[in-house]
Amino acid sequence: MNKRSPLHPGEFIRLEVVESRDLTVVEAAAALGVSRPALSAFLNGRSDLSGTMALRIEKAFGVNVEQLMRMQADYDSARIRRREDEINVEPYGVQAVREKSTPYETLHVDNTVMRRLREEAERRQTTASELLEAGLRRVLAERVPADAGSDALKPLPTWRGGEPRVDIADRDALYRLMEEE
């Protein structure tokens, strides 16, 4: 990751609440109404923040529950992202497509491009997959049957020699072309 990993909320509470107030773990645990081992596990990142613990911290020390729960969610997201390569799941519906069509190869798209594609799809109120497929169809100038209906994609505009106007490897050109409708 190029961004710094988020703090575990326990580390935040240890630094900003317990240590800044010169409390011992025993004193902080008593103030929260929890056992010393339970608080110690949380402060040292060995256990996750529960909603109940977040509320206890808010009531005892004034740290906002929502802030604490967001910290836990950010920490969990970063932790699972580190394992992203271990989880191999295909997008829903891919198996059905494979069964009724010819085999295809996986398309790998840079994370930055996917983020931009998802934003554009949200703006257009469609899915990233549909938007990507529409752009690729245009780039590849796939013929659309006349009876395909109003949702059918128009062929990709070409230069005089019949060559597509955009190189698929040029992502910015591909996005500009996808925006021309």
Domains of the chain, earliest start first: 9-84 (1.10.260.40), 103-179 (no CATH)
Quick one: tokens of 96?
Answer: 């059905």
Q: Which of 59-63, 158-162, 171-175 has the lowest mean pLDDT?
A: 158-162
Exposure on the CB side of residue 40, measured as CA atoms within 13 A: 7
Q: Which pTM was predicted?
A: 0.50
Task: Calculate the alpha carbon distances from 111 to 20, 115, 179 in Å.
Answer: 40, 6, 20
Q: How far apart are CA 171 and CA 153, in angstroms?
A: 20
Distance CA 44, CA 23 (A): 15
pLDDT in tens, 103-144: 555 667 778 888 888 888 888 888 877 777 777 777 775 555
